Structure 1
Amino acid sequence: GAQDAALVQGAGTGAIRAALAAVLGPGEPLLIHDAPVYRTTEVTLRGLGAKTATADFNDPAELRAALASGRFRYAYVQHTRQRLADSYAPGEVLAACREAGVRTVVDDNYAALRVPECGVELGADASCFSLFKLHGPEGVGLVVGAADIVGRVRADNYSGGGQVQGHQALDALRALTHVPVLWSLQSRAGAEAAERLAAGEVPGVAEVRLANAQDRCLLVRLDRPLAREVPDAAARHGAAPYPVGSNSRYEVAPLFYRMSSSALDDRPELADWTVRINPMRAGADLVLDILRRALRDVYAAHPLPRPLPHPPPGTDAAPAPQTPQPPQTSDAPED
């Protein structure tokens, strides 16, 4: 288990900010993965004046070379994918950092209680994540890990007005008791929906994948570039068109949304073709019914041009046959 933990204000973003502020000095270099940075994390890094340097965590040799440079006291690792093509195992990245004497802070948002081991259980010095995403109250985050890091987080937040305490803290802890069951049911609904979509149950779906793109969700590729219009159409049939807190206690209806901003920074063409769907508390039947109705509406508003009938002779680049002329006789009148 971890040595210490501190509840903080600001949910997952606040937890990351508190941990990085506790360990980084002004202008200190920080090693991060070579990928688009999550929007709110980018704001945090800018506000702290961190000098980020990148290495491709998918390439063990490149990671080891960066770690061997001696430039870094800390590395920052995001547990879930930043790019859809990311393949690194967080545990292996953390082990390489530890071997090089580089300490680590892990963003475990979207991963905590969804993976067998969070960052600190894999050997990180600190894990940071939102409890609002785990059905806790608004704005509560957690930093868990080494005693010296958590101690600095607590010391920096000594003012009572900035602390999480009393009923707010109890509410956050109570919510953790039922989250694993809800996640299990949600994963089952997502797997069933993916299987049925792959079998062709909903016209207009070209491909579907289950992915840990932030939340565990369905990535649905359409057969026409109309994905931007699907969330609004789905909302008219009962879906949520944007997240409240990404699996917060307030989210019941399935979420139909675009890909994350960091994913679109990496693959902007997905904005036109791919819809992200999280079942939330819905079953597969409702998810597919909403998608079917939404695609019907969107496609009806953008009908494909009807195929032309077979062109008449002479209009398909071939000369029209000559009309037969009666043979002229000797007694035909002359022109």
Structure 2
Amino acid sequence: MIAVLAILFFYIVLSSFLFTLLRKRAPVEKKGLYAYLLTISLICPPAGLPMAVMLILLQKRKNRAGWIDDYSKYVTFDPVNYEDLRTEAREDRELVPFSSGLNLDNPDLQKKLIVQLGSHGIANEGVLLRKAMNLNDTETVHYAATTINVLNDRYRKQVDETKRRFTDHYRLDDAEKLADLYFHYLLSGILLSGQEKDLIDECIHFLIHAVHLFPNAPAFQYRLGSLYLRTGDLDRAERRFLKLTESDPSKYYGYTGLLEIYYMNNRWAKFYTVVDQIARNVKFDRLPEKYRWMIRRLGGVKSETNI
């Protein structure tokens, strides 16, 4: 009888310890689940504990099997992706008055907005300017076309001037400015597809040189991987992102690049490995919003003391 009581006491202590530990490390949405499973294990000894463990394993397997469809809907805005909408609204809020103004039947206002687009350095201005080129007012279309040419010349001169400074001295700050200019130019939306391809090739050539000159500056490696990803050269992109994760496992840049590659190619085993690496190595609050959603969905959020 004493032996049975001792075994029962040990069982209760073990179950309580295991589930208390799990609840402390669990995200908020799973704490109730572990409390429920602890109750099962205490009510139904000794079968309750292995039954609870089995339910945990099944729940994790279900999470991993079912998240892919959810994520596909998430990235395609089906259902409504409120987190990304909020993020994009913060980033693009300065474009809203321009886009709304171009939709008004007011040529004078439209021309004023086009002039502002050419002088304020607003991101993605080319998209709005090309939209303005489809308006009915001939003078407004001329303003938009002229502004695109002016911006194109301005970006080109800034790139050439910064490139000259860089090749004269090979300083890190000039290299960083040149990389920023290349990416602003590419993201401006003012280039036609052929022009964009030429600029990407030019930028890749520079970034390869910068990676060799400044091996301890990870931004060049990341941007090089991003351009390879943009052009569909996934093998080269993967190699660049892997180097980033190896050189500094605590930074998220390389991991997120790998997630994009593996998601595009349906390489789920490698995808899950990267998710686990992020959960283990990267501070959760430093991740971009859509990757936070992904890690939460896969149950990879660590306790507050670890993030």
Q: Which TM-score band applies after superposition, normalised by the shorter structure?
A: under 0.3
The structure in which a higher percent of residues are strand is: 1
The structure in which a higher percent of residues are helix is: 2
TM-score w.r.t. the length of structure 2 is: 0.26
Q: Which has the larger radius of gyration?
A: 1
